Amino acid sequence: MNGTKMEKRSKVVELHQVADVIDSLHQTPEYSSLGYPMVRVTDIKGGFLNTSNCLKVSPEIFKEYIKKYLPKRGDIVISRVGSYGITSYVNHEFRFCLGQNTAIIVPKIDDRYLFYCFQSDYVKNQIENCVVGSSQKTLSLKLIKDLKISVFDSQDQHNIARILGSLDDKIELNRQMNETLEAMGRAIFKSWFMDFDPVRAKARGGQPAGIDVETMAQLPERFEDSEIGEIPSGWKIEHFEKILRHSTERIGSEPAVEYSATVTGLTLRDERFNKQLSKTREKNKKIVKGDFVFGLSRKVVNFGLMKEKIGSVSPVYEIFKVNSDIYIPELLEMKIRYDMSNYIDILKPSAREGQGIDREYLLSKVILVPDMRIQKKYFQIYSLLQQKIESNEQQSRTLAQIRDELLPKLMNGEIQVEGMKEVVT
């Protein structure tokens, strides 16, 4: 180390001097079930770009949307309208196109260093001061191009990107590991409770893969006919009214964060939504761990399982307590998600925008209830997977905290990077 502060070796330039900024087409395409991912504002959430939940467009529409530019690894996508100024780094060679109200930044300097510039208060404050619009804030292309960027020499850029990148790479690895663990849990659930693979194997006189002797003894040896088709012998068909109990308890003065139900589960309301559904949160409904929450929708079933100790939701939501002596709540949620097409009819047929579910119709539906001993055996496996997932998430939260503390110090030159090694090895 030579003791020279990095800030003395930096210079301030406008973004267009160190990157190209390319706008998206300002139109909404027709989406398709197959094709190429289209990255919209809602898909830009910081960190590495994840296209797994993106809507898709056909190859023909894709070609139209990449006429200006085909995004590549090392680019940075940025949101311009609504949730403006959020950036994600493209860290894989996958093909996607940009939806409206987004733009792409093509760095001419170290790409990851430029990405971290956008995470700095220096750039974030500029963005906050230059957005326009009263009802919906907008970040224009010109404003993006004119953003001031503090640029160090190429070696310092590389070092900063390497140090912060080592943390983000580990966070991303944890995310991928958790996706694999979750996929394992879903695959085992489907095999046991949807396809009945262990029962079929036992009925043939075989030994199901991954099933121990004790669990094997608890499996039925044959199938029987039922009103919903062939089911393992001894498993029951029950109406939801025996499993779910409607709840209207209010949160009152108890301290609790507010949740919203989405098609993928419960989410903290402040993270995704700005509109408040009730005039006072004291009138919100109380939810506790294990509760089922059904939200508002016209075309999809927005529901989720409450996994935290306590929370609240809008009074227009439907809350149900689950009888865990009949069906373990986590397993019941998986079962509904696998059979989602069979639950779309619980939406009120005359629903206006925002109307919810037909409670009585839901309670009249029937569902296959597996033997509780088999449920508990699967839940043991599920719990071990969840413990590993939570451990990875906790490590990622710690790494993110370290990154967020290091970033401003590195960008301001408070920490010299010569000789520093990656934080995560």
The mean pLDDT of the chain is 90
pLDDT in tens, 59-71: 999 999 999 999 9
pLDDT in tens, 332-380: 999 999 999 999 999 986 555 556 899 999 999 999 999 999 999 999 9
pLDDT band at residue 415, thresholds of 50, 70 and 90?
confident
Q: What pLDDT score does 211 carry?
A: 81
pLDDT in tens, 12-31: 999 999 999 999 998 889 99
Entry pTM: 0.82
Q: What pLDDT score does 401 carry?
A: 97
Please state the rounded mean pLDDT for residues 231-239. 95
Q: What pLDDT score does 420 carry?
A: 63
Q: What pLDDT score does 424 carry?
A: 62
Beta bridge partners of 88: 77
pLDDT in tens, 76-118: 999 999 889 999 999 998 899 999 999 999 999 999 999 999 9
Q: In the chain, where does the domain assigned CATH 1.10.287.1120 lie? A: 155-233+371-425
Residue 290, sorted as left (phi over 0), alpha (psi -120 to 50) or beta, turns out to be left
Q: What pLDDT score does 274 carry?
A: 45
CATH topology of domain 6-152: Adenine-n6-DNA-methyltransferase TaqI; Chain A, domain 2 (3.90.220)
More confident residue, 356 or 279: 356
Residues 155-233+371-425, CATH architecture:
Orthogonal Bundle (1.10)
Instruction: Assess contact for 224 and 233: CB atoms under 8 A.
Output: yes
Q: What pLDDT score does 134 carry?
A: 73
Instruction: Give 236-369's CATH code, choosing from 3.90.220.20, 3.30.465.10, 3.40.50.150, 2.60.40.10.
Output: 3.90.220.20
Q: What pLDDT score does 338 carry?
A: 92
